[in-house]
């Protein structure tokens, strides 16, 4: 049976997901109070409104998670750095509180050790270049605190890189942006190209000496959204060793949902809705303008496409749970991965293909980027 096959596969090759925003949800909903957001209690977490908790991660076959230590681009300068440190502290607090279930991880060996111990490896990624406030020293300190990727931009440009969802200013990377990439290569920190413009993607691939990742992006040829990856960039991943970790965000995977979202945002702009009120506006808009439905089949189409263009060695998973208001049918929370893998198996993906998708590709990219004990020793 497919279910037995997927269960057996996940026992050996548990999902390593590239992006989960539980930490921002914990900040916004309960101020990092894990007495109120009890992660061993699914019912309590569902009542608060998270997609993620420990029992659901186990049920979903997740063995390692990159927790996003995101802060919004509306925070500037030192305020962004302070909030990032609070996010990092939140991850450390969570891991310490649930030490029987979670293990902090910064290397491939840490991830493998956590699996052997029956714990979920907890890695960190910062989701926007504004979080270093133009400082390579701040970048290095985030690395020392355990952060193992930096997304070069979020939704807005930074002074040294253009965002996918802002008006281009630089036409890609500035000289300092290239310095950031080089320093990340040097210290063993993954360069994350989700959220950046296509020109930044291409220019980063020109200069990076280590594999890049897309922590939560899908294929632009399947859904023409600027947050997705063009085919010419996907085709270059085989030469770079990078991984496109396909996301589940409905407007990135389903063209009808993309169009609905674009129209909603036009109305939002016309009404002058502030960024902090975006979620409430979209929920209300959806009640009067029903949204199209994205499904597992949409995500499968993106995974098939990325595999076809980049190669099966360069595809992964980055759900973006707790970073979006709604999700495709069948992928409504972190328990959805086995259903997705079963759908891929029905499409002819072999066990070896699925193992690459769930964990082997990103572990290989991490190793090649220096996220290993040997890499740590070489930089000491």
**Residues designated catalytic:** 19, 21, 127, 154, 195, 216, 320
Asked if residue 280 lies in contact with residue 28, where contact means CB atoms within 8 angstroms, the answer is no
How many Cβ atoms are within 10 Å of 183's Cβ, its own excluded? 16
3-state secondary structure of 148: strand
Task: Quote the Cα angle for 271-273-277, to 5°.
Answer: 150
User: For 271, which DSSP code?
Assistant: T
User: For 360, which DSSP code?
Assistant: I
User: Minimal CA–CA distance to 191: which of 171, 208, 175?
Assistant: 208
Asked if residue 86 lies in contact with residue 70, where contact means CB atoms within 8 angstroms, the answer is no
What separation, in Å, do the N-terminal and C-terminal C-alpha atoms of the chain show?
Answer: 49
Contacts of 57 (CB under 8 A, 6+ apart): 65, 120, 334
Tokens of residue 315, six digits: 């595809």
Q: How far is CA 262 from the centre of its chain?
A: 22
3-state secondary structure of 122: strand
Residue with tokens 């959204």: 225
How many Å apart are CA 372 and CA 375, to the nearest integer?
A: 5
Q: Which helix (H) or strand (E) covers residue 20, if one does?
A: strand 15-20
How many Å apart are CA 295 and CA 254, to the nearest integer?
A: 8
Torsion, Cα of 263, 266, 268, 274 (10° steps): 130
Tokens of residue 356, six digits: 């690459």
User: Minimal CA–CA distance to 39: which of 67, 48, 327?
Assistant: 48
Tokens of residue 22, six digits: 């539980």
Asked if residue 19 lies in contact with residue 25, where contact means CB atoms within 8 angstroms, the answer is no
């Amino acid at each position: 049976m497919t279910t037995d096959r997927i269960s057996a596969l996940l026992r050996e090759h548990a999902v390593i997901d590239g992006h989960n925003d539980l930490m921002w949800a914990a900040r916004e909903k309960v101020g990092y109070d894990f007495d109120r957001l009890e992660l061993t209690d699914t019912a309590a977490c569902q009542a608060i409104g998270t997609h993620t908790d420990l029992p659901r991660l186990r049920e979903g076959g997740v063995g390692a998670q990159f927790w996003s230590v995101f802060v919004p681009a509306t925070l500037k300068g030192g305020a962004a750095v302070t909030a990032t440190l609070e996010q990092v502290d939140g991850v450390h607090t969570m891991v310490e509180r649930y030490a029987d279930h979670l293990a902090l991880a910064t290397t491939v060996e840490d991830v493998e050790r956590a699996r052997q111990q029956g714990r979920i490896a907890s890695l960190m990624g910062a989701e926007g270049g504004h979080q270093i406030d133009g400082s390579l020293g701040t970048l290095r300190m985030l690395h020392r605190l355990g952060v193992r990727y930096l997304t070069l931009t979020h939704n807005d440009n930074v002074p040294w890189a253009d965002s996918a969802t802002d008006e281009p200013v630089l036409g890609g990377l500035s000289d300092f942006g290239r310095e950031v990439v080089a320093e990340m290569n040097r210290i063993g920190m993954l360069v994350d190209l989700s959220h950046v413009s296509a020109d930044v993607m291409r220019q980063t691939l020109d200069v990076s000496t280590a594999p890049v990742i897309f922590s939560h992006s899908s294929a632009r040829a399947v859904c023409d959204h600027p947050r997705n990856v063009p085919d010419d960039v996907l085709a270059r991943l085989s030469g770079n060793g990078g991984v496109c970790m396909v996301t589940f965000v409905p407007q990135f995977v389903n063209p009808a949902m993309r169009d609905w979202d674009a129209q909603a945002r036009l109305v939002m702009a016309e009404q002058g809705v502030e960024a902090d009120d975006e979620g409430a506006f979209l929920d209300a808009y959806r009640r009067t303008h029903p949204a199209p439905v994205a499904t597992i089949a949409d995500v499968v189409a993106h995974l098939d496409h990325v595999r076809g263009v980049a190669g099966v060695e360069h595809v992964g998973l980055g759900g973006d749970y707790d970073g979006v208001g709604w999700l495709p049918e069948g992928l409504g929370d972190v328990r959805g991965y086995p259903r997705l893998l079963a759908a891929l198996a029905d499409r002819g993906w072999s066990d070896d293909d699925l193992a690459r998708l769930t964990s082997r590709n990103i572990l290989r990219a991490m190793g090649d980027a220096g996220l290993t004990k040997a890499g740590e020793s070489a930089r000491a």
